[in-house]
Structure formats: structure tokens, C-alpha cells
Chain A
């Protein structure tokens, strides 16, 4: 693996070639491969110094940056008159002032053989979130250990997270060897300790090396100070280790479709980044989730049609046949397709300040598929310092847990261990749009594989046709006492008189039967709405116009119901009554009870109401009588407005 001849020559010194034969240099640079890696360790382990040295040695620090660095080093540095590389890898002013690093920074350097992208993830409080982010794109992890301190709790944490994200190449860099007199005994002891731990969490192999980032030992050249060390230098190792994309190329072909390219009637191509495997004209392919098959007619790029495309390339694929395929579909080799499912066990890393709400609907993005999901209460969380499993009801910021997720439609996937691109996902809060979690699919749950849809001969179309109407759900939302039930009742009476087939689901009534097991906690409220949503959907399938009157205070839950129904059939009707007006009416005396503390979790008092952002219908009850409101709603529903 290592070329011993070049062992003792510095690998960075290419100035001569640049000066003498730029074409030869460019030729060399053109054929370089790329390795992305992450460095783990705190400033105390000498991580910043190491990165600084790699940048410095490969001339990625320019003179003016160096000038700034040198003057900064004297002002705020910790290395006396020496250059403090920690300042080089420090970025945002806000962080600098607070003396904390809060984010992932990306650095670049080249050697003769490779281009490198280093994800530098410092920080203490946000460590899990940042490390998982940086590790998600890394081929390799460098785990730094201070030779004086040995394997610490944080070494375990870093290693666990790298392993969790599936990094196969782990380098154990025992740093600051200069401070332990380059002792082989110290090094061997640390390696032995680490081996025991690594085996216990399933890390199959790692490469250990004694280094000094500060003095430069075994970074680019083998050090005379460690004659007992027979392995490669850090840079040699980084230059020769296998990258993920070449591993992915050996797997079966999969390409998630990003975009359908249709410039004219004669061309229809499917654009995407090949996740695994290779594709060439003549290959038999299958499109998931539909399962339809065809043959690849050509693989198109700007530089001409190509004979073969491999994992990691962005291409456009055309088929022999016109089959259904769109964004979110996955094109696969025909005889070995990925699975589809709608229930999974997954490992989730929570990344938001606001904790997971089990049962709440979130967006899940996996490859190019975006679906609505709910997450169950975690089975357990993992203590990243001790690897212990602990019972939990939710996931807080930086917690890692294993939980079941249910998607609202079939998702094309593979377990994360087999395929990062089809097994890794993010969760997005439907209200704030923030990315709240990262997850990895472990496996699909058997029950969803075995529960199939029974194909029925009489479908929703036939039901609706017989009733001579278009099914719809009029979803009333608003504060308690806003007038939902009153107006909903009038709307139903009007529709009934017009020979429309309707059904009114009222909040209080449903809680006497279907939902009598539910209380008023946040998760019970979500379940209440989910059930009502499912019932409404069944009734709409039966051809009915469904009218519901529920406070339904959370935007995300209303959106969940919206996503259950076909486009155009869900009407969000916002009965907009200001809190003080509703409270003044207080028909059922509930506000009084809530104000006195007798009633907990009351919407508008001690539980929030999230007003619809863009309801189909908004009724301002301070300006409109119930009768006028009912007319407006009926007219809008029937298209007469």
C-alpha cells in the first residue's frame, strides 16, 4: 500500500513542478481523487494545530492570511510568540467573542495525490449535532488523543458517533508524542486500551499512529523520533485509503430521481445523482415504487452520451419505454430492487432545541422523497459517554435514540448500513421548517410488509358518482367558543337542503365515543386529530362531504390531515374569533375554569393556538353573522363564490 521510496520525501513540495512544468502539474492535479474526512477532538488535543499544519504545509495559507494570523497569535493566541493555528480554524466573530466554536467548518488542502476536504467540528455543547453533520459526508475520521491523557470519555464519544454514522476508516492519532518523550510504551498502552473499547462497540479495524502536530512528527515524513513506528505517515495514509464512492460503485445500481428533463416531446430523461452501482445503455431497470420495468436507451450528459456512468456521477437517463417516473422515484437495476415500506425502526439524532413530540407529524426527506411521518416514543436513548441504553419518552437536543417511524406513504429505502443515500434521512418541523433531526433506517417493520392494500372494485370515484357530488372535508378550526359548532351545524343544514350527502363530526361528540380514551395532553390532542382525520378520510372515500368542528390548535396536525386527502378536497375553515371575544362569550364556562387553574392545557390560556397561515376560508366572526358565514362557506365549497 505504501511506496517506501517516497517515504522520506515531503509530499507537499510541488513548487518546483509548478514552476518548471505547469502542464505536467495540471495533468497530475486533474487526476487526483478526493477524500473527505473529519477530525475529532477538542482544542486541547491539538486538533486545530494539526489542521493548521496540514493547511500550512500544503500552502493553503496565504501570506496575507498568515500576516493576520501572526498578529492575532500575539494578541489572543495561547502559544506565546509562535503561530497559534487554533486561530486559523476559528471562524465567526460571534464565536470568537464568546470563546466558543458552535459549528462545522470546512477546510481544503491538496497533496500530490489527492484533494482533501476536512470537516472541522469543534465545540462542546453542540458536539453531537456538529460531529454527526461533519461525519455524514466523511470517508474517514481522525480521532485525536492526547498522549499524556490516553483514552478519555470524549474519545469514546467521538468513536461511537463516527461508528454510528458508518465511517469505516478510523485513524487513531496519538498526538503530542513530543510531550511523552516519544515513548513506545505510552503509545502501545493507549492502542491496547482503545482496541478493547473499539471491539466492544463494533469497530472492526482502525489505524493507530504516533504523531506530533506541533512538531510535525509522522505528519508528512516519518519521524526519526519514533524509529519503533513502522506504519505510514498520516498524510500517506490519507492519500491511499479507499474512498466511499469507489465502494459504492460495486453495489447494485440505484439512482433517486431529482428532476424530469423534458425540453420537447421527443426527449424525456430522468436526472439524478447515482447513489450506488453503474448504469449503461441496454441495462434492464425497474422504477420504484411503481415497480415498472424498462431498458436504458441512453445516458445523457452535456459532453455527449456516455457508455457508462457510475456512483457519484450526476447524469440524465432515458428509457426505451414511456413509464411512470418522477421526482422521488428510484431507478434501480431490474432484478435486485430496493424495498418499499411505511414503517421503520430507525436511529435518530435530535438536533433542535425543541424536543421530539411523539405522534406529531414531521416532514421526512430521504434521497429525493419527502413524506409526512410520525415518530413513536423512543424505545431507548443511548448515553454517548457510556453507551448505556436508557428509557425515554422523547428526544432532547443532542440525544440519540432508537424509535419507530411511520410514513404516510410508501418510501423506497435500504437499511443505512447497506446504502447511505437510501437509508439516511432528515426530519423537518412543519411549523418552523427547521431541520430538527437526522436519522438512519435500521430496518422496516414486518407489519407494514405484510399489510397490503386490498384492491376493491367499488372505489371512491364510484361512491361519489352515485351521490352525484364531489367529496370534501370542511375542517373547521378556531378557539373554544369561536362559533365552530354553530356555523358548522348551519352549513350542514344548508347542504342537506341542497340534497348533498354530509356528515358532521363534532369535537365533544367524538370524545364521548371513538376518542374517549384520550385526554388533553399535547400527544393526546395530536392522536385525537389523527383519528378524526382518518375517519374523515374514510367518509370522503365513501363519497360524503365531511364537516368537522375541532379546536385543532396545531398547524402541523391540520397539515397532517390535509396530506391524507387528495388535492382540492381539504378546506381549512378558520373561524377567526379573537380570544377576548370568545372568552367574553364563554358559552360552556370553560374559560372561567381555565383562568382559575381548574382546567389545564386549555387552548388560548395555557396552551397555544396556531392560527392557519393560508386557510381556504377565513371567517371573521366580528364582522359576519353565522348565517352569512355559512353562506360563504357553502358557496366556496360548491364553487359559486
Chain B
């Protein structure tokens, strides 16, 4: 009798979770950030419902500051999967011209945290898939697969439901919603290997290439478009770089690398001794409890 590999077990578990949500929620949606975790999650959703397309839309909570290559892949994948793509941009942030250069953490708060709440309320989604993993960050190690949010999108770490076996309780009162993390039990290595084995399209920025960069506050930033305000004396330098995580380009640090293929990227990932979230500015807010505070405020 065949014994399943760890990736086969993880895949089956994730598909099971995605189907449970579709069976029990009224209006599910998949939050699609165009990163590698989203790529895996979307692929799993396509597998879960084949030959039907996944019976829910993709939602991109856009900040208008993503890398151009991300927008390209986003549109391509929506078409390929046969799913509706909803793009939501917080009109208030739009109007006020909130941007990562002038507004610091307000940029994330308004575009992402507020934007997500507004989008979920606007469409009345009661279940939203997200690509978070338990190995990413300390407070996530205890996050449930089904995470309940109050009608104001708050998260109460003391009031989460126990999850036994593979039985998920999706019952909720009107106005409440669930965030569901189907790839909770995957590690960064699992994600990469799965992308490799299944040939899943990902944003080319994950692979090394010569790109225009500036170094700022110890981070290597890519000058992705003309909106990047150069400080006096700053001159974009072509460096061979790639990204370990993708977000808003002015907030996402690159690493210098020569890894041009997936096995090379995986090799570099495994040999490196710096965890992947370090490239992001967000975790450093509010000391060690950064992500947890953000979650209580409603950040995904």
C-alpha cells in the first residue's frame, strides 16, 4: 500500500479545508496577494474543485504600490483559473494620497488593514482564505486554521475555538466572519518545493536578475517605477537581486543573489540563516509583539 509523502498529506489537508469552507460558508472569497503563498493556495483551490473552477472570487486588496510584475501575474492567473478577480483600493487612502514614502505605517493601516475590512464589508464575504503559515512568525504558531473575527473584524486570541481532528466548526452569527488559513501547516520549504513540483507560475521577482536598486536604512529597495522619490545623492545601482517575500515595493527589501532557478532559490533559502519575514518592515513595529497587535487590529 502506498504511503503518502508529507507534501501529499499537506495537499490533501489543504484541499479538505478549502472544500469545507465552500460547503459551509455563504460567501467565501480568496485573498490573493500574488505572492508565492497565494500562488500555492490558488493552485490548491483549483485542485480542490477540478473540473469546476473554484466557486468563489479572488480578492486583491491593492495598495497601488505593488511591483508591476505582480499586477501582470495577478491578471494572468485570474484568467487562467477562470475565477472572478475583485480589486479593492481604499478610496480614502486614494483620496489622501497615502503612500509608503511619506506616511510610514499609516500606509499599511489604511491600504491593507482598512482596505481589507472595507472590501469584506462591501461584498458581504463571510469567509476569507488567507495564505498565512504557522512557521512564519511566533504568534502564528498558535493561530487556528479557522480564525473567527467579530463583526468589527477584531481577533480575540483568548476566544478561539479548539480544532480537533479535521473537524472545523464554521458556524457563526450574522456579521461575524472567518479567516481560513488552508496552508497553516506548510513551511517555507514546503511551499517552494510544491511550486517546483507542480510548476506553479510565480512572480519573476523571486528569481535573481539585474535590477535598479538603492540602499536605504539597511534595506535594498528596488526602483520599480518613476514614483520612487530619490533622495539627494541617491542613484539607482544595477544589482543582481531577488525577493524572498513580495509586498509594496517601497517596503520590501531585496537580497543580493545569483539564484536564477527554483532549485537555486531553494538552495539559497535553506542555506541562509535569516528568516523570511525579516525583509518586511511590519514585524518590527511595537517590539516583539508586532504581528499580534496588528492581528487584533484586523490585519490579516
A30, A130, A246 — most chain B CB neighbours (10 Å): A30
Contact with B along A429-463 (1 / 0, CB 8 A): 00001110010000000000000000000000000
Smallest distance from the beta carbon of B234 to chain A beta carbons, Å? 26
Contact A261 B7 (CB under 8 A): no
Interface size on A, residues (CB 8 A): 85
Smallest distance from the beta carbon of A400 to chain B beta carbons, Å? 14
Contact B167 A107 (CB under 8 A): no
Assuming the A-B contacts A30-B5, A94-B157, A312-B8, are A110 and B165 also in contact, with contact meaning beta carbons closer than 8 angstroms in the complex?
Answer: no
Interface size on B, residues (CB 8 A): 71
Contact A31 B5 (CB under 8 A): yes
A426 at the interface (CB under 8 A from B): yes
A90, A316, A420 — most chain B CB neighbours (10 Å): A316
Assuming the A-B contacts A327-B23, A438-B164, are A18 and B271 also in contact, with contact meaning beta carbons closer than 8 angstroms in the complex?
Answer: yes
* Chain A residue with Cβ nearest B192: A26
A91 at the interface (CB under 8 A from B): yes
The DSSP consensus for interface residues of chain B is: helix
Segment at the B interface, from A3-11, A62-70, A371-379: A62-70
Which residue of B3, B169, B172, B289 contacts A93 across the interface (Cβ within 8 Å)? B289
Contact A107 B141 (CB under 8 A): yes
Assuming the A-B contacts A30-B193, A106-B134, A433-B172, are A263 and B9 also in contact, with contact meaning beta carbons closer than 8 angstroms in the complex?
Answer: no
Q: What is the bound-complex CA distance between A103 and B292, given in angstroms?
A: 15
Contact A136 B165 (CB under 8 A): yes
Smallest distance from the beta carbon of B221 to chain A beta carbons, Å? 19
Contact B185 A106 (CB under 8 A): yes
Contact B267 A62 (CB under 8 A): no
Contact A273 B166 (CB under 8 A): yes
* Chain B residue with Cβ nearest A88: B138
Chain A residues, CB < 8 A from B172: 433
Q: What is the bound-complex CA distance between A104 and B20, given in angstroms?
A: 22
Smallest distance from the beta carbon of A328 to chain B beta carbons, Å? 9
For window 246-272 of chain B, which residues contact chain A by CB distance below 8 Å? 263-264, 266-267, 270-272
Contact A246 B3 (CB under 8 A): yes
Chain A residues, CB < 8 A from B7: 30
A554 at the interface (CB under 8 A from B): no
B86 at the interface (CB under 8 A from A): no
Contact with B along A14-50 (1 / 0, CB 8 A): 0100110011011001111110000000000000000
Q: What is the bound-complex CA distance between A434 and B6, given in angstroms?
A: 31
Q: What is the bound-complex CA distance between A249 and B164, given in angstroms?
A: 21
For window 19-35 of chain B, which residues contact chain A by CB distance below 8 Å? 19-20, 22-23
Smallest distance from the beta carbon of A168 to chain B beta carbons, Å? 16
* Chain A residue with Cβ nearest B290: A93
A313 at the interface (CB under 8 A from B): yes
B281 at the interface (CB under 8 A from A): no
Contact A250 B1 (CB under 8 A): yes
A114 at the interface (CB under 8 A from B): yes
A226 at the interface (CB under 8 A from B): no
Contact B162 A435 (CB under 8 A): yes
Q: What is the bound-complex CA distance between A271 and B49, given in angstroms?
A: 8
Chain A residues, CB < 8 A from B263: 22-23, 26
Contact A62 B138 (CB under 8 A): no
A219 at the interface (CB under 8 A from B): no
Contact A34 B10 (CB under 8 A): yes
Q: What is the bound-complex CA distance between A593 and B38, given in angstroms?
A: 63
* Chain A residue with Cβ nearest B287: A93
Q: What is the bound-complex CA distance between A60 and B134, given in angstroms?
A: 12
* Chain A residue with Cβ nearest B278: A64
Contact A33 B3 (CB under 8 A): yes
Contact A249 B1 (CB under 8 A): yes
For window 147-166 of chain B, which residues contact chain A by CB distance below 8 Å? 157-158, 160-166
Assuming the A-B contacts A93-B292, A105-B141, A426-B164, are A115 and B169 also in contact, with contact meaning beta carbons closer than 8 angstroms in the complex?
Answer: no
Given contacts A117-B185, A366-B167, 14 further A-B pairs with CB under 8 A are A15-B271, A26-B193, A26-B263, A92-B139, A93-B293, A104-B142, A106-B184, A261-B51, A263-B51, A273-B13, A302-B47, A424-B165, A426-B169, A435-B161
For this complex, 6 residue pairs linking A to B, each with C-beta atoms less than 8 Å apart, are A30-B7, A103-B157, A263-B53, A302-B50, A313-B8, A425-B167
- Nearest 8 Cβ contacts at the A-B interface: A62-B275, A34-B6, A314-B15, A63-B273, A93-B289, A302-B47, A115-B6, A263-B52
Seen from chain A, the residues whose Cβ lies within 8 Å of a Cβ on chain B are 15, 18-19, 22-23, 25-26, 29-34, 59-60, 62-65, 68, 72, 90-94, 102-108, 110, 114-115, 117, 129-130, 132-133, 136-137, 243, 245-246, 249-250, 258-259, 261-263, 267, 271-273, 278, 300-303, 310, 312-314, 316, 327, 351, 363, 365-368, 420-421, 424-426, 428, 433-435, 438, 613
